[in-house]
Chains A and B, each alone.
Chain A
Amino acid sequence: MKHKVAIVGAGQGRFGVREDASQRELAFEAVAAALKDAGTTLKDVDSMVTAVAADEFSFALQPSAQMHDYLEFFPKANFRVEGACASGSMALRVGWMTVASGLADVVLVLGAEKMTEVSTSQATEIMGKGGDAIWEYPFGMTFPGFYAMVARAHMAAFGTTEEQLAMVAVKNHFYGSQNPLAHMPKEITLEKALNSFMVAYPLKLYDCSLITDGAAAVILASEERARDFAKSPVWIEGIGTATDTMRIADRDALHTLRATVEAAKKAYRLAGIGPEEVDVATVHDCFTIAEICAYEDLGFCPKGEGGAFIEDRQTYIGGKIPVNVDGGLKSKGHPVGATGVAMAVEIMKQLRGECGSRQVPGAEVGLTHNVGGSGQVVGVTIYKKD
Chain B
Amino acid sequence: MLEFRTSGFNPYSVKYSPFFDSRLAVGGGANFGLVGNGRLYALNLTANGIICEKFFETQDCLFDLTWSEQHENQLLTAGGDGSLKLFDIAVGEFPVAGWQEHGREVFSVHWNLVNKDTFLSSSWDGTVKIWTPEKKESLVTLPVHSCVYSAQFSPHHQDVVTTVSRDSHLRVFDLRTKPSAQNHMTLAIPIHAPPKVPMPGFVNQSTGPTECLTHDWNKYRDSVLATAGVDGVIRTFDLRMPSGPVNVLPGHEYAVRRISWSPHLSDVLLSASYDMTCRVWTDGSNVDQGGNGNGLGREMGRMDRHTEFAMGVDWCLFGAEGWCATCAWDERVLVWDVRDVMRG
Query: Is B one of A's binding partners?
Result: no
